[in-house]
Amino acid sequence: MKIENVLFDCDSTLTTVEGIDELARWKGVHQEVVDLTDLAMDGRLDFTQALEKRLELIMPSKADLQRLAEIYLKNAVDGAEEVIRYLKSERVDVYVISGGFSPAVDVLAESLGIDRKNVFANTIRFDSKGDYAGFDRSLPTAQENGKALVAKQIPGRKMMVGDGISDAQVKPYVDLFVAFTGVKRRHAVLAEADVEIGYLRDLLSIVKGEFTAHKKRVKS
């Protein structure tokens, strides 16, 4: 099976950082944000409402996101640049589909050689002073199953690589869902995965057709 497109999550996949957690810690609202995330993950709070409430707590400024971009770059996952360079040399299209925030996600993607047009993330709005002024609710990534909404619009044979439940939701629309566990290992995600990898460079063997070397492995 020739993979034509590889779709990456960002946080805990291309970078070891969880952006919203970093932002929440800086603002002293980490636990409140975690509680809202849990409500959304449990289906007790609409995804867009949960995003809105978390952002209202954090109120990220343009400067905050610039700082986050620097942290993303300093904490890029080992092998990310090498893997993406190889994929592009093989004419595989590379995408980032993230629930994180531009411009931080954009900066990381650009540093890894990913075309800006292939980056899907949430857009934060700022006022003239660079302070938080809301977010773009119309984007798929601001909605429930947003990553799946993006993935189903990408033609050709696809692989999704990520660590979270929102990445697992993409599975019906891709040919292969790879759970990346090099940063975080979630059993609910592994239960949906076709393949588990602990090192991003293992993707190269999968793309080269050495799939049997990376059969799904799930530990209890």
- pLDDT tens digits along 124-166: 999 999 999 999 999 999 998 999 999 999 999 999 999 988 8
The one-character DSSP state at 164 is S
**Active centre residues (catalytic):** 9, 11
pLDDT tens per residue, range 175-197? 999 999 999 888 888 999 999 99
CA-based nearest residue to 101, from 57, 136, 56: 136
CA-based nearest residue to 54, from 16, 78, 19, 98: 19
Domain ranges of the chain: 5-16+76-214
pTM over 0.75, yes/no: yes
In degrees to the nearest 10, what's the CA dihedral of 183, 189, 194, 196? Answer: 20
Rounded to the nearest integer, the mean pLDDT of the chain is 91
pLDDT of residue 1: 65
With both helix axes pointing from N to C terminus, report the angle between 19-27 and 47-58 in degrees, rounded to the nearest 10: 40
Distance CA 162, CA 40 (A): 19
| Residues making up the chain, counted from first to last | 220
pLDDT band at 216; cut points 50, 70, 90: low
Give the residue with greater pLDDT, 181 vs 40: 181
Distance CA 72, CA 14 (A): 9
Token look-up 């063997």 returns 205
The percentage of residues in the chain with a pLDDT greater than 70, rounded to a whole number, is 93
Domain 5-16+76-214 coded CATH 3.40.50.1000: yes
Tokens encoding 217: 């492995």
